[in-house]
Structure 1
């Protein structure tokens, strides 16, 4: 049974909370969480250490609300979607009629990696619509850049306000439309240098060897091996489904390895490709989904020259 503002809603009820003060955050979060607890609904807080502490202190000590570590859940967008879908499926199977969650993506993501978190916020409108979820995504306007707030308004159908209203976003954009737009990608200064390796039409084995060659011990071995798998998958996709020539370039920095794979094609047709596993066997869907969970940042660009994916292992450029 649905309750609160989502009482007459089917599927995912997705809201953003834009707050200017801590009191405004609490004015939205506390009634939302208490309402879920009183209704016997699974209710979760997935906020950062500071904001999570504020909410915890404002709730009665015995409130049956579960606090989850936001840093673990919001490591990579595709991994967050996978984890949340698994949690929601488990709760619904146990009989939940509605699940409430208030969370926030880490503020560090507002800089150079915001492009894929903006895509996450758009994609979850579809990814979670199988479940009776009511969630609020909190954004502190004191630290959130204007361009991020503009994307928040496009990717959230509505806003929850401190005075108890739930108002439609005037710039809401359906996820399929939003995700088909070429994202704003912040250039990585590492790519201003010549690549350490550049190959044309490499085999998957040659692509894997190129990443190993670029590794100078600056990254944990698991990060390197994840990038090896990702580059192999993307090169294979480009050779099978793209248009020649396929070009692989690899750069090595002190704290990251960056690879780009480009071809002359248009890239995947599925706007959710990478963020969700392809359900219809779309070309390259599984490989890109694996890649989004293996790398610390993935960007794409489509232009007159074709389609390019940029994959980062290690510390993604923060901007």
Structure 2
């Protein structure tokens, strides 16, 4: 019988503290025959490699600008790693440089951390998420406090009294933000309208100076989400384009008012499936994805970083 997954946070206050706790977590896993994966900033990888010594050769290390670019790709990295040896338990450390994230990305990271508790609940994974308590502001440390049911302290795990119900957190993050009055809006209610919509997105992306590869990713993500709206939503389907802080937003709206599963698009649909990949793919392509429903319909907002 597979033991349920564990999802634990570590609030560290120094390099020494991080290396000691993260190192013992990995060594404990290796001693039990588990496979080890570390996704973290380069400075953390170096500390952990030094702490582990020869044991580091048994660990897969991935820099955070690869694993978390965009953020939900971390799920893909974890899934691929576990699939290489499905009969073996995985111990995983996951940390990224949160200080560089935009407000929209931080909201999405709250979703990612809370969703882990549901989607990986029965997986053979022990996941440790370190947070730099000496540098991160309290609002970011709140993610650690509320999204993990265990706290690692001095080599052992204690129950976390601040742990919040994951589905309640996800529901609370699904509020709809309406498009601003100055948004460019295009109706796309038939499949034949897709080509014109793609051209508009491509042209607008070029106007604001998006990198061509990023513009292509946004176009693909929008096409997937809009196709879902045309197939499974209710007309009319509208695409709103606008800037919000440091993000360019492609906002798809259709008339459907049924509640959206907060976990929609968090994992790829089970095979075989004729639909359901749109949101999953979109999360792998853009900086953040918001999904919600209100009296005006279903809304999916795709965020891409503006040129800096």
TM-score by length of 2: 0.83
Alignment of 1:38-49 (within 5 A): 38-49=31-42
State the Cα distance separating 1:282 from its structure 2 match: 9.1
Greater CA drift, 289-298 or 39-48 = 39-48
Matched, 1:148 2:148: no
Aligned twin of 1:285: 276
Query: How many aligned residue pairs are there?
Result: 302
State the Cα distance separating 1:315 from its structure 2 match: 4.3
Counterpart of 2:127 (choices 119, 122, 135) is 135
Q: What is the rounded CA distance, in whole Å, between the counterparts of 2:85 and 2:261 in structure 1?
A: 29
Q: What is the rounded CA distance, in whole Å, between the counterparts of 2:278 and 2:83 in structure 1?
A: 24
Q: What is the rounded CA distance, in whole Å, between the counterparts of 1:184 and 1:297 in structure 2?
A: 14
Counterpart of 1:206 (choices 174, 196, 200) is 196
In structure 1, the residue corresponding to 2:257 is in which secondary structure? coil
Are residues 315 and 51 of structure 1, via their aligned partners in 2, closer, same or farther at CA, if it must alter by over 3 Å? farther
Are residues 282 and 260 of structure 1, via their aligned partners in 2, closer, same or farther at CA, if it must alter by over 3 Å? farther
Q: What do residues 269-299 of structure 1 show as CA deviations (whole Å, max 9, x unaligned)?
A: 3221121123399996321112111222222
Q: Is the 8 A contact 1:207 1:235 kept in 2?
A: no
Q: What is the rounded CA distance, in whole Å, between the counterparts of 2:106 and 2:173 in structure 1?
A: 13
Q: What is the rounded CA distance, in whole Å, between the counterparts of 1:58 and 1:295 in structure 2?
A: 35
State the Cα distance separating 1:165 from its structure 2 match: 2.9
Aligned twin of 1:84: 78
RMSD over aligned Cα atoms: 3.3
Alignment of 1:169-248 (within 5 A): 169-183=160-174, 194-195=182-183, 197-202=184-189, 203-216=193-206, 218-248=209-239
In structure 1, the residue corresponding to 2:72 is in which secondary structure? helix
**Runs of 5+ consecutive residues of structure 2 not aligned to the other structure:** none
Q: Is the 8 A contact 2:20 2:51 kept in 1?
A: no
State the Cα distance separating 1:113 from its structure 2 match: 0.8
Q: What do residues 45-97 of structure 1 show as CA deviations (whole Å, max 9, x unaligned)?
A: 3221122222222233454333222221111243221221121021224xx2x
Q: What is the rounded CA distance, in whole Å, between the counterparts of 1:316 and 1:84 in structure 2?
A: 29
Q: What is the rounded CA distance, in whole Å, between the counterparts of 2:38 and 2:166 in structure 1?
A: 25
Q: What is the rounded CA distance, in whole Å, between the counterparts of 2:217 and 2:157 in structure 1?
A: 42
Aligned twin of 1:69: 63
In structure 2, the residue corresponding to 1:219 is in which secondary structure? coil
In structure 1, the residue corresponding to 2:53 is in which secondary structure? coil
Q: What is the rounded CA distance, in whole Å, between the counterparts of 2:124 and 2:307 in structure 1?
A: 34
Q: What do residues 287-317 of structure 1 show as CA deviations (whole Å, max 9, x unaligned)?
A: 1112111222222344443332221334489
Aligned twin of 2:13: 20
Q: Is the 8 A contact 1:210 1:250 kept in 2?
A: no
Are residues 146 and 265 of structure 1, via their aligned partners in 2, closer, same or farther at CA, if it must alter by over 3 Å? farther
Q: What is the rounded CA distance, in whole Å, between the counterparts of 1:52 and 1:167 in structure 2?
A: 25
Q: What is the rounded CA distance, in whole Å, between the counterparts of 1:149 and 1:316 in structure 2?
A: 28
Q: Is the 8 A contact 1:263 1:307 kept in 2?
A: yes
Greater CA drift, 238-247 or 284-293 = 238-247
In structure 1, the residue corresponding to 2:262 is in which secondary structure? coil
